[in-house]
Amino acid sequence: MRGRGIQEGLRSELLEVVGSLKGYLLEAVDTGGKAQRFSTERRTTADAPGEGESSGEVASRVEQLAALEEELRSCRRCPLWTTRRTVVFGEGNPDARLMFVGEGPGEEEDRQGRPFVGRAGQLLTRIINAMGLSRDDVYIANIVKCRPPGNRVPNPEEKDACTPFLCRQVEIIKPRVICALGSVAAHFFLKTEAAVSVLRGRFHSYGSIDLMVTYHPAYLLRNPNAKKQVWEDVQEITKRLKQ
């Protein structure tokens, strides 16, 4: 009974956070009460380096990602392979203009072999939906592809071993914007140890890609007060994707 009560409590907490995000959306958009869905079309001519891309190039991305995923299936480059159930490669639109990058798979992700499908993942899905997008419009990946035991933070050896795969994913997809979720992703891309609270709220550069840092959805579940900042950050991303 107690477990059920806790579950109910967590559920209402999640609903509260999502409800608030939705409130911000409706308040912010205020254009006839409808959430605006920006174009998910592949890049325009203004979006280097994907000018004038053909369907052949998109197919090539699919093939390259599939080949990389195949390579990862049997990866033993760091000790995390010994405790994983599945390799969580990442998923979404190979032609995405927006890529979310988190820290690593949790228990549910390890079980399903998909990124961001646990409680934090459900919240990320709601955030993506509140932006007027679906998970199929974006690409979602993590710094490490195998679950660190007990959901601990991946150590330097594990990150160094695994991030070349993430870099390859970024090179193949060539998103317009990357949203780094939490400090592990932010520190990897920006080579800094600064806190998320310092890094968030403005665009950084990762090569030619615009990079926004925001709080990880798991942090948001524990700290619902940060929802306003997350909403501000994703609004900036929405604006940038329209440019």
* Residues lying near ligand SF4 in the complex (CB under 6 A): 72, 75-78, 80-81, 87, 144-146, 158, 161-162
- Closest distance to ligand SF4 from the beta carbon of 166 (Å): 9
Q: Which residues contact 175 (CB under 8 A, 6 or more apart)?
A: 96, 97, 98, 99, 139, 209
Residue 11 Cα distances to 29, 51, 104, 221, 230, angstroms:
27, 44, 23, 10, 20
Q: CA-CA distance, 34 to 32, in Å (whole number)?
A: 6
- Closest distance to ligand SF4 from the beta carbon of 127 (Å): 25
Query: Hey, what are 20's tokens?
Result: 């608030």
Question: Minimal CA–CA distance to 163: which of 150, 175, 154, 174?
Answer: 154
Q: CA-CA distance, 215 to 217, in Å (whole number)?
A: 6
Residue placing its CB nearer to ligand SF4 in the complex, 4 or 73: 73
- Closest distance to ligand SF4 from the beta carbon of 189 (Å): 17
Query: Hey, what are 74's tokens?
Result: 């049997």
Residue placing its CB nearer to ligand SF4 in the complex, 59 or 66: 66
- Closest distance to ligand SF4 from the beta carbon of 128 (Å): 25
Q: Is 113 left (phi over 0), alpha (psi -120 to 50) or beta?
A: left
Residue placing its CB nearer to ligand SF4 in the complex, 53 or 108: 108
Residue placing its CB nearer to ligand SF4 in the complex, 60 or 64: 64
Residue placing its CB nearer to ligand SF4 in the complex, 130 or 181: 181
- Closest distance to ligand SF4 from the beta carbon of 169 (Å): 12
